[in-house]
Amino acid sequence: MAPVIHALEKLGVDFNYVLTGQHHDYNMLHMFVEELRLPVPFASFQLSSSKPASEIGEIMVRLEPILEQVDTRILLIQGDTNSMLASALTAIKVGLPVEHVEAGLRSYDWRMPEEHNRRMVDHVSDVLFAPTERARQNLVEEHVYGRTLVTGNTVVDAVLEYMPYALKSSSIMDSISFPQFCLATFHRAENVDSPQTLADLVDALLQIEYPVVFPVHPRTNARLQEFGLYSKLSASRMVQLLQPAGYFDTLVLLKNCDFVMTDSGGLQEEVTVPTIRKPVIVLRSATERPEAVENGFAQLVGVDKNKIVDRAKQLISKGSDLPDHSPFGDGQTSDRIARFILDELQTTDSKK
């Protein structure tokens, strides 16, 4: 949402933004605000619970008086997190229209909490900013209530906007032990909460026989320790374990790696941006970003370690031929969204 905030600022559209507290590292969250050159948030709060249902309920209780405190005309939300579901439900109950950035993504994998969230949010939104034609078609087929527009994805805008800053300010490459490497990340519950699946992913990293840089998500770290797998990785000369990487460090790692292995949705989009342009092995059986697969950037391999190793070795030996443009946008998405909002507000004012 940072590029959207900047686009609204350029057009002179008044707005307030709220940090809902779903990111439980409060200090890191505010570091991101400074790093992404965002204004001071109108409100922010810390949550007392990390359980999904309690988290959603608490966000709703905390957000309602904030929305009623100012003359809010539109609630703009992005993505598929618990924060987005809680915010959308709160807006409905206080009579505010909801506009959803990154609408229409579908994995058709009901094990994913994000799939629950995005489906519910899309069906209560008044305006849906779909990143691709495929996403728009998903919404048409589901007969959503709101108006749908294809805009591209703000992730592309963010990479293009912040990569120059990241290259200047990040020193992450000074600590990387390898001149060439694969960047690996995995954190999804269905992957790391299963001892067998996590053991297979660890074995895959070791068996590709190629340097791996692995920023370890807190959830993944806890499970690696719990299942006795952490020492297996830390003992390998071919795997470098890192603390969780911030956004700028992640951008620099993506730019400098040879390929990516991940279960992240966002990374599947970021690798397609021309300033990164890297192949990605997706450690999932389904993706809500099929455009990355169709355009040759991503390959779904699931969590079968033999398939992961085979695909990694193919990339190592043969490389990949990738398009020079992203299927997720041209970097102008945020401007389109901001101009739509401005026109909408001006039209509403003229009718009063």
Q: What is the pLDDT along the chain (352 residues), one digit of tens a residue?
A: 999 999 999 999 999 999 987 766 666 677 788 889 999 999 988 888 878 899 999 999 999 999 988 889 999 999 999 999 999 999 999 999 999 999 999 999 888 889 999 999 999 999 999 999 999 999 999 999 999 999 999 999 999 999 999 999 999 999 999 999 999 999 988 899 999 999 999 999 999 999 999 999 988 999 999 999 999 999 999 999 999 888 999 999 999 999 999 999 999 999 999 999 999 999 999 999 999 999 999 999 999 999 999 999 999 999 889 999 999 999 999 999 999 999 999 988 877 6
Residue 331 Ramachandran class (φ > 0 left, ψ -120 to 50 alpha, else beta): left
Predicted structure pTM score: 0.92
- Which active-site residues does the annotation give? 187
Domain edges within the chain: 2-152+331-350, 163-318
Alpha helices for 142-194 (secondary structure H)? 154-169, 189-192
What is the C-alpha separation between 168 and 145, in angstroms, rounded? 45
Angle at 123 between CA 133 and CA 41, to 5 degrees: 90
110 near 261, Cβ under 8 Å?
no
8 Å CB contact between 82 and 90: no
Q: Is there a shared CATH topology between the 2-152+331-350 domain and the 163-318 domain?
A: yes
Q: Which CATH number fits domain 163-318: 3.40.1440.60, 3.40.50.2000, 3.40.640.10, 3.10.290.10?
A: 3.40.50.2000
**Which of the four CATH numbers 3.10.20.30, 1.10.3980.10, 3.40.50.2000, 3.40.50.1000 does domain 2-152+331-350 have?**
3.40.50.2000
Residue 209 to residues 237, 238, 311, 314, 320: CA-CA distances in angstroms? 10, 7, 12, 12, 18
